[in-house]
Amino acid sequence: MNSYLSLLKTRGVARLMGSQLVARFPGGMLSLAFLIHIEQIHHSYGAAGLVLAATSAGQAIAGPLTSRWMGTWGMRRVLVLTLIVCTTAVGTIALAPKLPVPLYMALGLIAGLSYPPIQPAVRTIYPKLVNSGQLTPLYSLDASAQELIWILGPVIATLLATQVSPVIAIMVAVLFMVVGGIWFISSPEVGRVRIPRSRRKLGAVLTRPPVLLATVAGFLMIGACAAVEAGVVATFGEGRPESGVVLAIFAFGSLVGGLAFGHRPIGPWALAVRMFGVFVGLALAAAFLDFWWLSATLALAGLGIAPALAVMFTIVSASVKFSETAEAYGWVGTGQLIGAALGSAAAGFMIDAFDAHGAFWIAALLAFLGFLVPTIFRRAHPDLRGLDSSPIPDTEPIQTVRP
């Protein structure tokens, strides 16, 4: 714990971590707020699902693109532009009079395409704030802290949307995005760090085995988490508090795991070991759909999630040039978004066929594949024990601090 306190005392770390968490907080709110808002307008969960699918598709497409643009036009320019466009699109969904579903889908697509690339930006800046020995604990602390988004975000969104108004819920998410975005963009570190223009083609960074491994493993792990969410809701029902409590325990387990294990050295088996822990917890969860059993087993599974994410972020950082880091994290994020969408869809079909157990079977299967992939392709996993995990320097002088 002392290592994490030392990190937070490092100049700029607490400010960047706090601001990016506030700016990304809508990620835990907008899906539920959109779902309730569109369903109330069109009286159709199918219509709401189409809007959410369009939003997720936009985010998946934009991830590598907007991240790469930060190396071309600068972080602040890209972040300001995307923040303006995204908040306008989201605000229009909330405040516009009743619109046809295709127009809501178009607005959702625009919101997704313009979602500010704050996560790739902050993970690109981190290696410039701390020394290489502190980078793995910093990524772990970041992965643990982001669980607050998934613990508190859905609860706040549901309470506001059901007890006040879904419009208010969406606009509160917009407020978080604006306040957090301005706070993050105005941070001195965002102005000091310049990402060099990448000389390689878009997508070439995926030819680096650790980046591809992190993208595939993230796809499988987040797909498993999405299947768990669907399974928990199907088990307890949408209106019962048990669903929110169990999912909060799942996220809290991840937070604890990140703080407890995330600082450990990263060897070639690190990702496989952490994913095996996730698999064991989810496989046990599928046995009995009881509140206390699910709470205990999902807490166990959660212990491996943030540490696994920390490994993914670190092996990406250590394997790419600094000019490629933002795009690499953009691809990792896209993999996770696609995993979430496909995990939810597969879980839905299995719930229809086999009740809620089917969703947990899918979750356990995806987690097992998430363990199997880094096991089979362990040669793609760098051994970073005692090594520098900072990005590879580019082959030309890089100005990182402006006078």
Instruction: Compare 255 and 295 and report the one with higher pLDDT.
Output: 295
Q: Report residue 403's pLDDT band, with 50, 70 and 90 as the boundaries.
A: very low
80-100 tens-digit pLDDT: 999 999 999 999 999 998 899
> CA-to-CA distance for 120 and 107, rounded, in angstroms?
23
402 within 8 A of 191, measured Cβ to Cβ: yes
Question: If 0-12 CB within 10 Å is exposed, 13-18 middle and 19+ buried, where does residue 214 land?
Answer: buried
Using the predicted structure, report yes or no on whether residue 347 has a pLDDT greater than 90. no
Question: What is the mean predicted confidence (pLDDT) over 22-28?
Answer: 91
Which segment, 79-88, 184-193, 194-203, is predicted with the most confidence on average?
79-88
- pLDDT over 90 for what percent of the chain? 38
**Predicted pLDDT at 368:** 97
Using the predicted structure, report yes or no on whether residue 184 has a pLDDT greater than 90. yes
Taking each helix axis from N to C end, the angle separating 325-354 and 118-125, rounded to the nearest 10 degrees, works out to: 130
CATH top-level class for 11-194?
Answer: mainly alpha
Is 202-386 in the same CATH topology as 11-194?
yes
**Predicted pLDDT at 132:** 72
348-378 tens-digit pLDDT: 788 888 888 998 999 999 999 999 999 999 8
297 within 8 A of 232, measured Cβ to Cβ: no
Q: Report residue 160's pLDDT band, with 50, 70 and 90 as the boundaries.
A: confident
Nearest to 316 by CA among 396, 208, 217: 208
Question: What is the mean predicted confidence (pLDDT) over 44-51?
Answer: 78
**Predicted pLDDT at 88:** 97
Indicate the domain borders of the chain. Answer: 11-194, 202-386
pTM: 0.83
Q: Hey, how many other C-beta atoms are within 10 angstroms of the C-beta on 14? A: 12
**Predicted pLDDT at 398:** 46
Q: How far out from the chain centre does Cα 162 lie?
A: 25
Q: Report residue 275's pLDDT band, with 50, 70 and 90 as the boundaries.
A: very high
Query: Average per-residue pLDDT in the chain?
Result: 87
Question: What is the mean predicted confidence (pLDDT) over 277-288?
Answer: 94
Distances (CA, A) of 334 to 62, 239, 339: 8, 31, 8
208-266 tens-digit pLDDT: 999 999 999 999 998 898 888 878 878 886 556 787 788 888 888 988 888 888 677 88
**Predicted pLDDT at 139:** 85
Specify the CATH number of the domain 202-386. Answer: 1.20.1250.20
**Predicted pLDDT at 278:** 95
